[in-house]
Amino acid sequence: MNRGALAALARRGYDGSAHRARQFSASWLGDRDLILAMDSSNLADLKRLGPGHAEVRMFAPDDIPDPYGGSPADFDHVLDLLEAAAPVIAGKLTGVR
């Protein structure tokens, strides 16, 4: 995991030590029900991989910027966006409003 991301998570009390980043595999489109993209560019890339069983859509209504190479404030901002969007998408997936 990126050190900046790990530090931002730790500042909020999250343990990111078990996270392992990996490249997306087109085979996952057939193995998953839902794949969430963080930005419109990633969404377009995922849809270009071809049809699959998975529904592919955005995680949040707006793009979540990639803070890679940014400052601690950039990582904190992205974590703010993720924390705000996560309950909304979870509510949509479970039917809770």
Domain ranges for the chain: 24-94
pLDDT per residue over 63-74, tens digit each? Answer: 999 999 999 999
Q: 60: closest CA among 77, 81, 91, 35?
A: 81
pLDDT at res. 96: 61
Q: Which fold has domain 24-94?
A: Rossmann fold (3.40.50)
Q: What is the chain's mean pLDDT, rounded?
A: 91
CA distance 28 to 94: 22
The structure's pTM equals 0.83
Q: Is the pLDDT of residue 18 over 80?
A: yes
Q: What percent of the chain has pLDDT over 90?
A: 66
CA distance 45 to 97: 30
